[in-house]
Amino acid sequence: MLTPAQRYLQRVMAHHRADPFSREEQRTRTAHEQVLHQLRLAQLQLKGVQSNIAKAELKKHLIPSFEGWIDGTLASDSGRQDEVITTMMVWAIDCRDYPLALRIGEYVIRHRLALPDNFGRDSATVLTEEIAEVVLTEAATNSETDLSGYIRMLDELDALVHDQDMPDQVRAKLHKARAFSRRASGSTEDMTVSLGLLREAMRINPAAGVKREIATLARKVSKVQPEPEKPAEEKSKSKATSGRKKPTTKATARKATKKTAAKPARKAT
């Protein structure tokens, strides 16, 4: 954990790094080297841990040591390639600090910063897939789990990566996760949105595994959606037709006359 002074120094050094012609460039380079060295030491700690759950917990404790650098880099908005920043984005995802992951992710994606080679994917794809997978895993573990706490975050993620290029399978996962996050809601609006998301997931990836969910949700939506109202003109015509007496034709009158004539008069008693 950084002291307030250490955090301030990191923030200032990260800010100076934004200007390659700054007089502080040499000091800044040294500061960046120090932060990189700090990152290498943290990565060595993580290599000694086998459990992914334990690694995520360790990352949660390590991230605060880089807060000053994160704040300074995002504030300067330089867009310079920085392994520390891209790694912090991934760590934030791993320890489920999604607000921080999206905050860094917006900067990383906007400046098209590359992730370390071992990831093999670009930043938008990693951010989308890693977060969506968490939600989908929870959904698969228990179909009754309330995932509504993810709605806002997933919608923010969708807005962030909406115009980014990524594999269709990954985007389908995001659509599916957004749909599942609304499944506990009984509102017609949420169910309609979810149905649209599931259909879009299936459209771009037929193997998304949402056919059954689409069928189930479509039945629910059809039951709760009100029937469309008739136009006012149709309503008035319908009322006029129902209130109008049926006209008597000549044939009808003749039949009535014959029936009356054929009926024998009742004898007086």
Is 248 part of a structural domain of the chain? no
Instruction: Give residue 269's pLDDT.
Output: 40
Is 2 part of a structural domain of the chain? yes
Q: How many domains does the chain have?
A: 2
Give how far Cα 232 sits from Cα of 235, 242, 264, Å: 5, 16, 52
Element spanning 136, H or E = helix 123-141
Do 1 and 114 lie in a common domain?
yes
Query: What is the per-residue pLDDT across 7-56, written as a single tens digit (0 to 9) for each?
Result: 655 665 565 555 555 555 555 567 888 999 999 999 999 999 999 999 99
Comparing CA positions, the residue from 161, 162, 98 lying closest to residue 131 is: 98
- Looking at 98, 120, 142, which one is the last position of a domain? 120
- Residue 163's CB: how many other CB atoms inside 10 A? 7
Per the structure, the complete domain to which residue 212 belongs is given by: 121-226
- Looking at 86, 120, 154, which one is the last position of a domain? 120
Do 22 and 81 lie in a common domain?
yes
Is 261 part of a structural domain of the chain? no
Q: Where do we find the tokens 């006029």? A: 240
Give how far Cα 62 sits from Cα of 5, 13, 39, 43, 235, Å: 17, 19, 9, 10, 69
Give how far Cα 157 sits from Cα of 97, 166, 193, 220, Å: 13, 14, 16, 28
Query: What is the per-residue pLDDT across 102-138, written as a single tens digit (0 to 9) for each?
Result: 999 999 999 999 998 888 899 999 999 999 999 999 9
Between CA 33 and CA 40 the distance in angstroms is 10
Query: What is the per-residue pLDDT across 197-234, written as a single tens digit (0 to 9) for each?
Result: 999 999 999 999 999 999 999 999 988 776 556 555 65
